[in-house]
Amino acid sequence: MTPDFFNCCFEAVGAYFIAQHIRQVLKDKAVKGLYIPATAFFMLWGFWNLFFYPHLHQWWSFSGGLAIVTANAVWVALLLKYRTRMCQLTNCADRGKHPADADHTYFRSAIDDACSLNDIGARLDSPDPATLEPFGGP
């Protein structure tokens, strides 16, 4: 087994794990607890590898890199889509007025994470104690 093939295996397994992230985001239709720039950085590194591996004549690594950069690009796109979508659904200032907020604490918490941190004061001043759940309750 050459180092090139071994590296390809690592990248292919990484692509599989990222596919599991994609599956979960599609299932949840929500983004919570993720720092998108970190994933975007590794996606950009993957694009660099697609340029770099052919210069080293590492074609196995290139094929694994193609898989992982594609998975990362799809994941970043979905993260941005659902983060933006959740903020638009609630308009961040209208928290609690969306029908999905009525009984779905997880969804409400995910919306809180997707909205800007500047909105924290409005949430803390809310008369609804359920909005405090992301911070450990009232």
CB 53 within 8 A of CB 80: no
Domain housing 18:
3-135
pLDDT less than 70: residues of the chain:
86-138
Q: What was the pLDDT predicted at 88?
A: 62
Q: What was the pLDDT predicted at 82?
A: 87
Q: What was the pLDDT predicted at 34?
A: 82
Q: What was the pLDDT predicted at 87?
A: 66
Tokens 């909205």 found at: 115
Q: What was the pLDDT predicted at 106?
A: 43
Q: What was the pLDDT predicted at 25?
A: 92
Q: What was the pLDDT predicted at 120?
A: 43
The total number of structural domains in the chain stands at: 1
